Amino acid sequence: MKFYGLAAAAACSIAGSLIAGPAMAQTLAPSETLDAVKARGHIECGVHLGLPGFSFANDKGEWSGLDVDYCKSLAAAVLGDATKVKYTPTSVQQRWPVLQSKQVDLLARNTTITFSRNATLGVNFQGINFYEGQTFVVRTKAKVTAVKDLADATVCVAAGSTEEKTAADWFRERNLKITIINFQKNDDAISAYDQGRCDAYTAGLGALAGQRIKFKNPAEHQILTEVISNDPQGPTTRWGDERWQLVVRWVLNAQIAAEALGVTSKNVDEMKAKSTNSEVRRLLGVEGKFGEMMGLSNDWAYNLIKQVGNYGESYERTVGMGSALKLKRGSNELWTKGGLLFTPPFQ
Amino acid sequence: MKSPWLQTLRQRLFATPVDAAITLVCLYVVWRLSVPLLHWLVFDATWNGTSRDACKGDGACWVFVRVRFSQFMYGQYPIPERWRVDIAGALLVATAGLLSWRGLPHRRGLAIASVTVLPLAGLWLLYGGLGLRIVETREWGGLMLTLVLTIYAGLIAVPLGILLALGRRSRLPLIRFASVVFIEFWRGVPIITVIFLASLLLPLIMPSGFDVDRLARAVLGLAFVIAAYMAEAVRGGLQALPEGQTEAAQALGLGYWRIQRRIVLPQALRIALPAMTNEFIALFKNTTLVLIVSLFDLLGIAQAALADPAWVGMNMEAYVFAGAIYWFACFAMSQWSRRREKRLQAAYGR
Amino acid sequence: MLTFLRDRKVRDILWQAAATLVTVAVIWFFVRNASENMVKAGIASGFKFLWRDSGIEVPFNLTGYRPSDNILALLWTGIVNTLLVSAAAIVVATAIGFTVGLLRLSRNWLLSSLAGFYIEFVRNIPLLFFILFWYFGVLAALPTPRDSADFLGVIFLNRRGLSIPTPDDVTGLRLALAAIVVLVAVQFGLARWAARRQARTGRDFPVWPVGLVLCGVLPILALVAGGMTTAWDVPTLRGFNYRGGFVLVPEFVALFAALSTYTAGFIAEVVRGGILSVRQGQIDAARALGLTEGRIVRLVVIPQAMPVIIPPITSQYLNLIKNSSLGAAIAYPEIVAVFMGSALVSTGQSIEIIAITLAIYLALSLAVSVFMNWYNARHKLVTR
């Protein structure tokens, strides 16, 4: 009797898998990360240790910033609630192992996209949410106007950052000599510069605008306007799990598309109800079931716009004119307005 | 003039002209060092206020420490749940106090019970679950995290260290070899690399999906290193025991574990206790190294507070305050261990 | 049925077999997981990265390293820097430690309590505090490059470090160094000869004053003579900083000062314990023979205290070498900072890099232990 039971069960399961096989192929590819996120009910976001404007925790432990806003948008899209994010602050050294060993679902921490990182670290970059350009901060009384005036200077920098290599290359190419002091953390480099160990500290224009408030006397320092590099930065994921990569990429695209299409957190309800623009309708889930294709609900983009806002709103609030950093849009403006931001169509 | 007090003073400080000169130079040095220090620490310091603007004088700005005090103690532990940390701390102090009372009935049994039950109770109180709201370890910080690291690493290190010490003196060559390799490996590498190893490598060598908590990883890393040092401390105690003790027990027909538990270890541990306390102090001091893997222990939270734009430049205040806590804790432990050593020397008639 | 288990030999073998099996299984488990995880994650592996260009700047190096060299050269620079700061700190920590340890036993109450205060202060604070304190303390105390303190117009001290001139041509100095080596060898030979003669005839020879001339005065003269014959690259203020010569960076000074003052506290305790272990009778006997106080300490107390002192002092030296890794916190380019820091971030090969770092420290520890054991065995008192 037992044997027949087993045989029957085996037959059933074989038949079942034969029927289900083709059916499965039409449904979604499995996504380990997305399933894990849904099961645990929050997103694990790897952020910077503390960079005002991008990811910074106040003394109550509340995070804010452009990168943090991205994490919140992702949570709103995936889980329907922008508050369902937990942040893991990572140093320059920790970021890759933390991502590789699945302690975080993604990194959103001012990390420059480079070839060798992409090729050897097992990470993929899912788009650009900030075009950064490297420059220097110097003491005003040093009377430096251009980067080349820094010849023979001592520069403090975070070890292993792209800034370290870019600065070294820039001066070497021009046959100028500088001394670079590598610190393990950005904050260590900043306080050493502030204490007078170095003549300059180098980082991105946006990062410096935020880090400037960490100096004892911000007024005594001046950020050079000359930029020596192009450092695009954006959310970063592991290799593998393409569907999760898809979600991460298109959440960023949705932030940008919303701004391009004029959808804001204030008018999103109205747009959803009344808009006749078919791209807006597809973005907001009125038409086309785009959410389902990724394994999300169809109001994924509606949620993120409603709860966090489009890219422009987020920019103004965190690093733009509405913030302490007062950064102009510059390259981070939409391509239609002279910037570099664009998104593939929601079609 | 002939008071004995003055005479002692003369003998101890002004016995010869050279002595007198030395004393005067020392006094001058002490005077030159302590006056500005006291001015900065106490007389010129600002004690009251709520913000940086209150600090006008040249002295220390203790307002900073006052405003940030609860963060130095609890880190980002949620405020409504902080009573749990207080209870855990109170439990710790009460048990330690009770157990140090020598006249306590069933002292040994109670000690064993508290060592096994209390850590679990503490974990439940701090982490939560079973009716308490869960507070994740990433929100822990400050002095509380330092203590958690020290105590839990110590709880793993002591038994492991004892086993390793026994293993190193084992009759079986392979066990001896394994113990020696383990001990010498962890003793030979810097703790900073071990913490790195634990935090970066452990997730890579575990099966995927099996995640070890960040704090637990640091505890494990610290525990392994300290266990190796503990093993050497225990070995010192084991070596001090006369061989005859074990031989006599063997002659009575007792088994290996029984001999160790009943005869060897109770005596050896008593001898090794001061050395073990010193290793424990070293562990307490070494917990500061976890800040390189972004865990915010007392020193880490002090540094994080310094990054707050509102309080930039308060380095000295933060380090002096945190350093003083470390100093008092370590000093108390080392005094205790020294007293214990003296008593031991008296008991063994050395 | 299981009577063979009662046999001690069988049981021993079974115990050991089980232990081996468990160890091997655990290691195999980790290795398999690591390789599986790395392949899945697309992380590069292997040791080829060591020959890649490093591109990392090291501001303080004695190896002539340049960013265009490979990562192996970077590692070597880190090792040299670790050895440099450790060696310097070991010498100074031993000197301070012996002094403080002896002062602790001084008859002068104030002096001995000051020494005690120093010991208790240093031993009960984490080393990291010392390093940060020295670093930021040193930085704050030093002048900016423009207001550098200068000595004789050739040595300059400022927040960028201590700039000292370097010789353009080293042949003269090489000759001087060779002369110094010969002088030291002569001094050693002399000391042995004197000791043997004293043992044979009881006649005393002024080894120390002669040694002072041979190893102190003459080498300085040789160096000065060597220095006069070559041109020097003297640091000059160009733009922001002094260029030319050799710069001793503040990171080195801070780490060196922190390591030596911290370890000295521990060494002082060891020395005190060692000296207390010498029986009072020995000292009384030496006094009765009419030896001076200095000679009692040097010839009677220290030689007998040494066997007690050396083993714990060895572990202090080992601790110091391992503690030099904390230099990473203040950007001193030692092994952990350049290799486990910069190189790890730029290559991402954490497993290989951590393994190499651990192996280097283990080798260093082993070398120091072996040397100190040899030294201890040589200097062991022959008890008669």
What is the DSSP track for A13-25? HHHHHHHHHHHHH
In which band, very low, low, confident or very high, does the pLDDT at C2 lie, cut at 50, 70 and 90? Answer: low
Looking at residue B51, its pLDDT comes to 80
Looking at residue C3, its pLDDT comes to 67
Last residue of a domain, one of B109, B140, B171: B140
CA B188 – CA C315 distance, rounded (Å): 10
Q: Do B203 and A88 touch (CB under 8 A)?
A: no
pLDDT in tens, C73-116: 999 999 999 999 999 999 999 999 999 999 998 888 888 999 99
Residues in chain A closer than 8 A to C136 (CB atoms): 191, 195
CATH number of the domain bearing residue B159:
1.10.3720.10
Looking at residue A6, its pLDDT comes to 47
CA A214 – CA B280 distance, rounded (Å): 37
Going by C-beta distance under 8 Å and a sequence separation of 6 or more, which residues neighbour residue A276? none
User: pTM of the full predicted structure?
Assistant: 0.87
B130 and B232 co-located in one domain: no
Query: In Å, how far is B290's CA from the nearest CA of chain A?
Result: 13
Evaluate if residue A20 carries a pLDDT over 60: no
Q: What is the CATH number of domain A134-229?
A: 3.40.190.10
Domain boundaries, chain A: 32-131+233-337, 134-229
Is the sign of the CA dihedral A98, A100, A102, A105 positive or negative?
positive
Q: Does domain A32-131+233-337 have CATH number 3.40.190.10?
A: yes
In which band, very low, low, confident or very high, does the pLDDT at A18 lie, cut at 50, 70 and 90? Answer: very low
Which of A242-256, A297-311, B228-242, C150-164 has the weakest average pLDDT? C150-164
Phi and psi, residue A64, nearest 5°:
-150, 165
**b/e code C138-177 from CB counts within 10 Å (16+ = b):** bbeebeebeebeeeeeebbbbbbbbbbbebeeeebbeebe
In which band, very low, low, confident or very high, does the pLDDT at A103 lie, cut at 50, 70 and 90? Answer: confident
Looking at residue A254, its pLDDT comes to 95
CA C332 – CA A159 distance, rounded (Å): 12
Q: Do A92 and C345 touch (CB under 8 A)?
A: yes
* Mean pLDDT, rounded, for A71-77: 96
Residues in chain C closer than 8 A to A96 (CB atoms): 345, 348, 350
- Residue that wins the pLDDT comparison between C358 and B101: C358
CA C254 – CA C133 distance, rounded (Å): 8
- Residue that wins the pLDDT comparison between B2 and B268: B268
Closest chain B residue by Cα to residue A214: B309
CATH architecture of C71-162+248-379: Orthogonal Bundle (1.10)
Q: Which of B12, B174, B322 sits opposite C108 (nearest CB)?
A: B12
Q: Which of A160, A180, A192 sits opposite C346 (nearest CB)?
A: A160
Residue of C28, C121, C125 to mutate, interface with B, max B Cβ within 10 Å: C125
Boundaries of domain holding B136: 78-140
Q: Which chains touch A (3 or more CB pairs under 8 A)?
A: B, C
pLDDT in tens, A89-98: 888 878 888 8
Residues in chain A closer than 8 A to C53 (CB atoms): none
Looking at residue C120, its pLDDT comes to 93
Q: Which chains touch C (3 or more CB pairs under 8 A)?
A: A, B
Looking at residue A47, its pLDDT comes to 94
Query: In Å, how far is A327's CA from the nearest CA of chain B?
Result: 19
B105 and B201 co-located in one domain: no
Q: Do A97 and B312 touch (CB under 8 A)?
A: no
Query: In Å, how far is C347's CA from the nearest CA of chain A?
Result: 8
Closest chain A residue by Cα to residue C326: A184
B244 and B266 co-located in one domain: yes
Looking at residue C311, its pLDDT comes to 85
Looking at residue C381, its pLDDT comes to 56
- Residue that wins the pLDDT comparison between C78 and C54: C78
Evaluate if residue A53 carries a pLDDT over 60: yes
ipTM for this model = 0.88
Same fold, A32-131+233-337 and A134-229: yes
Domain boundaries, chain C: 71-162+248-379, 169-230
The answer to whether position B36 is within a domain reads: no
pLDDT in tens, C321-370: 999 999 988 989 999 999 988 888 888 888 889 999 999 999 999 998 88
Query: In Å, how far is B127's CA from the nearest CA of chain A?
Result: 16
Evaluate if residue A302 carries a pLDDT over 90: yes
A183 to chain C, any CB pair closer than 8 A? The answer is yes
Tokens of B108: 């040994």
Q: Match 């005036």 to its residue by tokens.
A: A149
B199 and B250 co-located in one domain: yes
Q: How many domains would you assign to chain B?
A: 2
Evaluate if residue A59 carries a pLDDT over 80: no
- Per-range mean pLDDT, top range of A331-345, B286-300, C5-19: A331-345
Give Dmax over CA atoms of chain C in angstroms: 92
Looking at residue C269, its pLDDT comes to 92
In which band, very low, low, confident or very high, does the pLDDT at B223 lie, cut at 50, 70 and 90? Answer: very high
Q: Which of C110, C121, C323 sits opposite B13 (nearest CB)?
A: C110
Q: Which of A90, A101, A214 sits opposite B294 (nearest CB)?
A: A90
Evaluate if residue A14 carries a pLDDT over 60: no
Question: Rg of the Cα trace of chain C?
Answer: 27
B190 and B127 co-located in one domain: no
Q: Do B334 and C123 touch (CB under 8 A)?
A: yes
How many inter-chain contacts (A to C, CB under 8 Å) are there?
Answer: 114
Looking at residue C344, its pLDDT comes to 87
Looking at residue C4, its pLDDT comes to 66
Residues in chain C closer than 8 A to A177 (CB atoms): 243
B98 and B196 co-located in one domain: no
Q: Which of C56, C160, C333 sits opposite A154 (nearest CB)?
A: C160
The answer to whether position B304 is within a domain reads: no
In which band, very low, low, confident or very high, does the pLDDT at B183 lie, cut at 50, 70 and 90? Answer: very high
- Per-range mean pLDDT, top range of A225-239, C163-177, C210-224: A225-239
Query: In Å, how far is C286's CA from the nearest CA of chain A?
Result: 55
Residues of chain B contacting A, Cβ within 8 Å:
68, 71, 76, 136, 138-139, 199-201, 203-204, 208-209, 211, 214, 292-294, 303-309, 312-313, 315
